[in-house]
Amino acid sequence: MITIKEATTKKELKDFIKFSFELYKNNPYWVPPLISDELENFDKDKNPVFAHAEAKFYIAYRDGRMVGKTAAIVNWQEVNEQGKKKVRFGWFDVIDDIEVTRALLEKVYEYGREHGMDHVEGPIGFSNLDKVGVLTEGFDQMSTAITWYNHPYFKDHFEQLGFVKEKEYQESIFPFSNVKPEMFMKASQLIKKRYELRSLSFTSTKDVMPYVDKMFDLFNSTYAKLASFVAVSDVQKEYFKQKYIGLINPEYINFVVDKDENLVAFSIVMPSFAEALQKANGHLFPFGFLHLLKAKKKSKDVVFYLIGVAEDYQNKGVTAIVFEEYYRVFKKFNIRNCIRTPELEENHAIHNMWKNFDPVINKRRCTYRKDL
């Protein structure tokens, strides 16, 4: 018999998180989160997303043993601003038993109906800056710190239960050796001169901080046209600024400004923390933080996290300026591979940005939808 229990205490939420460690034990492609980081993410007093969202965390048991988990989420900003009566589900993990999946998702449906929602979509997190999608291709590829990994049967469970694909994403990788400076160096100089632009590069995190709010403002305007976009609030800006910017090598953050110091483009690249997180196995101490610090300074793989260009400057070659700066930095650090995180299939503009580097699509993922 399957029973579903809501996780409410710190111990229960820790059990919720640690179920994934058991499910993917010895899997060489799964990248574990930091348990303390996940607990903070689920803390309604610490994560500012809960100012306009609410969630419940469900654990499935059979004969006293954990067999699955999921979070049910209503983002009221999305509901009220977009008129989408959607209940989200995320942090979904389950054994290969469709009845467990069915029982967990029934709790999500119930939660959605209680709040007047008319459809469900997932796996997705609380907001657009959370992880997204169930992996459908690339199960033999290393995950990243900012994506979920899952077993191949997940998508089969969803489809057997009447879900249909809602949004599709692709991830890709290309070796840094594919990046040839002649592709963008000359263009970069011409574009800087024509539009009176300049690149901002950094060597210390404190120098980055004054620009972060402007970056999130540009992020909000750049991504607003994409499906289900929910703007980052001022409180969230401060939260992400304090929590994550310090993890990034400041030389991997690049901004482009005009003659009046207005931000017209931004890009954030992160060192790959995948192998370091596998070694940490969920814990910062006693040695996890050392693995992460080493990865920050010495990882030979980089992950393109966010990139955006102001609407007035799109299709004007501004990304050549960004690529010029990254070419210099990546060459300095002897970077080996460039990894792109999930990008919507419909976002053709960003796909075209990378085409000259001959990226190989190595993973695909999607969210699934079902009417209630």
Residue 71 lies in a domain: yes
Question: pTM for the full model?
Answer: 0.94
Residue 58 lies in a domain: yes
Residue 367 lies in a domain: no
3-class SS letters over 315-342: CCCCHHHHHHHHHHHHHHCCCCEEEEEE
- 89 and 208 together in one domain: no
Cross-strand partners of 270: 303
- 153 and 218 together in one domain: no
Q: How far apart are CA 16 and CA 66, in angstroms?
A: 9
Domain ends where: 151, 171, 191?
171
Q: Could you say which DSSP state residue 92 is in?
A: E
Residue whose pair of structure tokens reads 């988990």 in the numeric block: 69
Contact 60, 99 (CB under 8 A): no
Domain holding 211, by residue range, is 175-362
- 203 and 67 together in one domain: no
Residue partners of 328: CB distance under 8 A and separation at least 6: none
Six token digits for residue 85:
């009566």
Q: Which amino acid type is present at position 263?
A: L
Cross-strand partners of 153: none
Q: Where are the alpha helices (DSSP H) in the chain?
A: 10-23, 35-41, 76-82, 98-114, 153-160, 185-195, 205-223, 234-244, 274-280, 288-298, 319-332, 348-354
- 64 and 210 together in one domain: no
Domain ends where: 142, 171, 200?
171
| Tens digit of pLDDT at every position of the chain (372 positions) | 999 999 999 999 999 999 999 999 999 999 999 999 999 999 999 999 999 999 999 999 999 999 999 999 999 999 998 889 999 999 999 999 999 999 999 999 999 999 999 999 999 999 888 999 999 999 999 999 999 999 999 999 999 999 999 999 999 999 999 999 998 999 999 999 999 999 999 999 999 999 999 999 998 888 777 666 778 888 888 888 888 888 889 999 999 999 999 999 999 999 999 999 999 999 999 899 999 999 999 999 999 998 989 999 988 999 999 999 999 999 999 999 999 999 999 887 788 888 889 999 999 999 999 999
Residue 16 lies in a domain: yes
Residue partners of 72: CB distance under 8 A and separation at least 6: 55, 56, 58, 87, 88, 89, 107, 108, 111, 112
53-85 per-residue burial string, b: 16 or more CB within 10 A, e: under 16 = bebbbbbbbbeeebbbbbbbbbbeebbeeeebe
Residue partners of 105: CB distance under 8 A and separation at least 6: 70, 89, 120, 161
- 22 and 155 together in one domain: yes
Q: How far apart are CA 70 and CA 87, in angstroms?
A: 12
- 267 and 325 together in one domain: yes
Residue 370 lies in a domain: no
- Give the number of domains in the chain: 2
- 181 and 232 together in one domain: yes
- 132 and 153 together in one domain: yes
Helix, strand, coil shares of the chain as percentages rounded to 5? 40, 30, 30
H/E segment holding residue 366:
strand 360-371
Residue whose pair of structure tokens reads 């100012």 in the numeric block: 51
Q: How far apart are CA 341 and CA 292, in angstroms?
A: 19
Give pLDDT, residue 244. 83
Contact 263, 214 (CB under 8 A): yes
- 278 and 310 together in one domain: yes
- 35 and 127 together in one domain: yes
- 183 and 322 together in one domain: yes
264-304 tens-digit pLDDT: 999 999 999 999 999 999 999 989 999 999 999 999 999 99
Residue 99 lies in a domain: yes
Give pLDDT, residue 245. 86
Domain ends where: 147, 171, 195?
171
The CATH number assigned to the domain holding 104 equals: 3.40.630.30
Give pLDDT, residue 227. 63
- 17 and 161 together in one domain: yes
Residue 368 lies in a domain: no
